[in-house]
Amino acid sequence: MGPTRWLASDTIDTDEVSAEGTLHLIRARKATTTVSSLTAQCGDIDTNLPAIRMVTVKLVVPVRLYPGATSEAALQDTLALCNQAANLASAQAFRMRVTSRQSLQRMAYGDLKAMGLSAQPAIHVTRKVAGAYAALRANIRAGNLGDPDSKRRVSAESKPITFRADAAQPYDDRCLSWQLDRRTVSIWTTAGRLAGIRFRCSPAQLTRLREYRQGESDLVQRDGKWYLYATCDIPEPAVTGPDAFLGVDLGIANIATTDDGIRHSGKYLNRQRHRARHLRTRLQAKNTKSAKRLLKKRARKEARFAAGTNHLIAKRIVTEAERTGRGIALEDLTGIRARVRLRKPQRVTLHSWAFAQLGQYIADKAALAGIPVVYVDPAYTSQTCSSCGHVSKKNRPHQATFCCASCGFAEHADVNAARNIAARGVLGWAVSHAADDAA
């Protein structure tokens, strides 16, 4: 099994929980295919890019809890105490420069027990704190907080990590038990064990919980509602060698375009974002009680709409790849926001572009369907002719127009780019598996 990599998910609809849940981690198996040489069409390709991301298939299934008034007060007190304890452990870790799990547990365990936590919740608190510092170090190494002397990085490194009073708290099977037939849970709180708390989920989610639930579950409070995010380990589907690859070009004008010529326009999504941004600006300028109430009501509405759109597009792309027996080739757009320089009016559009989310959704759904996903170098895909391989800026006179200056081939610019991505996907798959076979 490959390494595990958790991704934060803040796009789950709090009103209607998807029956599909949220897949975070994917593992693709080795497969073989026979391809012809496509170097002339693909141009210069960085063969060091990872063609397959080898990780574990896990599914996070969110279920809604319905505690009574007394149970809800106990859950709130529990979250508050756990996060108060996490802040204490975080302060000790920062002061003593101790952030490893075992060392932090030895140092803070006694103090957390003295605050009223049971043994297992105290251990989970120290693990949560250690994980937060590990995430901070990873962000610093990746450059996500800027240069060493940047204001954001200095601020993050100069004080201990703090936790909100309602931050999520992990539970394991010693503190949480599921009665799936009755659709209830029994959960540890500071007021004692609470039994018979009802939960709601779809039949598909219930089946996954019954067959695949393993590991920890997170207790989450969001907008006055309570959830348990349960981790399910899904068996790896068999991944066979694809006959070809479906190239997907990600963009702003068109959210996703496939080499089959199917374009998923971003016009409506961009219009909704523009409207939401202007409405948010006006409400913030008013600063009245009614304006604040409306801002709170609309919180995350834009993110949920964008996530729903991306889920729909990803499902259509994966369905088409599965129907035609193809793999999926995506651009590796890591660091694109740092590389691209735009005028100020265009920066909001770039930074609200959820390409990473869409790419993750495609990879998630492809993993469940047993479809391999490869990531290719996106360099010059929009300037390269998919017919003859000629590369020139003159090939793309306008945003939506591609016309090869060498052979005269004409096509929609995004469709042409998607065809180049598909060709590079085939070559990348062949190169990576040839290296594996040689090893």
Pair type for strands 245-250 and 327-331: parallel
Using CB atoms within 10 Å of the CB of residue 364, give its burial: 0 to 12 exposed, 13 to 18 middle, 19+ buried: buried
Pair type for strands 373-376 and 327-331: parallel
Residue tagged active-site, from 259, 302, 377, 414: 414
Residue tagged active-site, from 259, 302, 331, 364: 331
Yes or no: say if 348 and 274 are a contact pair by the CB < 8 Å rule: no
- Strand, coil or helix: 289: helix
Element (H, E) at 277: helix 267-286
Cα 3–chain centre separation: 16
Compute the distance between CA of residue 258 and CA of residue 414 in angstroms, rounded to an integer.
Answer: 8
Please work out, in degrees rounded to the nearest 5, the angle formed at the alpha carbon of residue 348 by the alpha carbons of 345 and 350.
Answer: 105
Q: 4-43: buried (b, 16+ CB within 10 Å) or exposed (e) per residue?
A: eeeeebebbeeeebbebbbbbbbbbeebebeeeebeebbb
216 is catalytic: no
173 is catalytic: no
- Strand, coil or helix: 291: helix
- Tokens standing for residue 78: 């529990």
Compute the distance between CA of residue 426 and CA of residue 439 in angstroms, rounded to an integer.
Answer: 20
147 is catalytic: no
Amino acid of residue 162: T
Using CB atoms within 10 Å of the CB of residue 80, give its burial: 0 to 12 exposed, 13 to 18 middle, 19+ buried: middle
Query: Cβ neighbours of residue 74 under 8 Å, at least 6 residues apart?
Result: 67, 189, 190, 191, 192, 194
Alpha carbon distances (Å) from 95 to 17, 88, 147, 162? 41, 11, 23, 13
* Beta bridge pairs of residue 60: 22, 231
Compute the distance between CA of residue 167 and CA of residue 144 in angstroms, rounded to an integer.
Answer: 22
Pair type for strands 254-258 and 245-250: antiparallel
Please identify every residue annotated as catalytic. Answer: 249, 331, 414
